[in-house]
Amino acid sequence: MQAEVHSDSRAVADAAAEIIAAEARRCIAERGRFNLAVSGGETPRAMLRALADMAVPWEGVHVFQVDERVAPLGDPARNLTQLHECLLVHVPLRPEQIHAMPVEQPDLDAAARSYEAVLRAIAGTPPVLDLVHLGLGVDGHTASLVPGDPSLEVLDAEVTLAGPYQGRRRMTLTFPAIDRARRVLWVVTGGGKAAMLKRLQACDRTIPAGRVQQGRALLLVDRAAAMPPHPEQ
Domain boundaries along the sequence of the chain: 2-215
Q: How far is CA 50 from CA 15, 53, 100, 130, 164, in A?
A: 9, 5, 21, 20, 32
Task: State how far the Cα of 200 lies from the Cα of 205, in Å rounded to an integer.
Answer: 8
Task: State how far the Cα of 107 lies from the Cα of 72, in Å rounded to an integer.
Answer: 14
Residue type, 204: D
Q: Please say whether the beta carbons of 227 and 190 come within 8 A.
A: no
- Per-residue pLDDT tens, the chain, 233 aa: give them: 999 999 999 999 999 999 999 999 999 999 999 999 999 988 899 999 999 999 999 999 999 999 999 999 999 999 999 999 999 999 999 999 999 999 999 999 999 999 999 999 999 999 999 999 999 999 999 999 999 999 999 999 999 999 888 889 999 999 999 999 999 999 999 999 999 999 999 999 999 999 999 999 999 999 999 986 555 43
Task: State how far the Cα of 196 lies from the Cα of 138, in Å rounded to an integer.
Answer: 6
The fold of 2-215 is Rossmann fold (3.40.50)
